[in-house]
Amino acid sequence: MQIKIDQTKCIGCGTCVALCPDFFDLGDDNKAILKNSTAPQKDQIEAENSGCAKEAAEVCPAQCITIK
């Protein structure tokens, strides 16, 4: 399962971090990043279980989180 953040859409509200701190954090620019991501922008990660990330994607006001 792939979790991805479109950081160009992120407004830095922190909802994803509040709902799912296991996967999400805020970067230096106050935009969402994925913990343990190896992508240069920390915007993508492979996970076996998306857990709370699905809920974070559903309630994100900017709709910048996708899960495939």
Average pLDDT over residues 30-56: 91
Task: Give the domain extent around 44.
Answer: 2-67
What is the model's pTM? 0.89
- Judged against a pLDDT cut of 90, whether residue 45 lies above it is answered with yes
Predicted local confidence at residue 55, as pLDDT: 95
* Rounded Cα gap, residues 27 and 50, in angstroms: 20
Mean confidence (pLDDT) of the chain:
94
Predicted local confidence at residue 39, as pLDDT: 86
The SS3 of residue 45 is strand
Contact 7, 41 (CB under 8 A): yes
* pLDDT band with cut points at 50, 70 and 90 for residue 41: confident
Total count of domains within the chain:
1
Tokens of 65: 């989180």
Sequence-distant (6+) residues with CB within 8 A of 64 are: 5, 6, 7, 8, 9, 10, 32
φ/ψ (deg, to 5) at 17: -65, -40
Q: What CATH number did the domain enclosing 10 receive?
A: 3.30.70.20
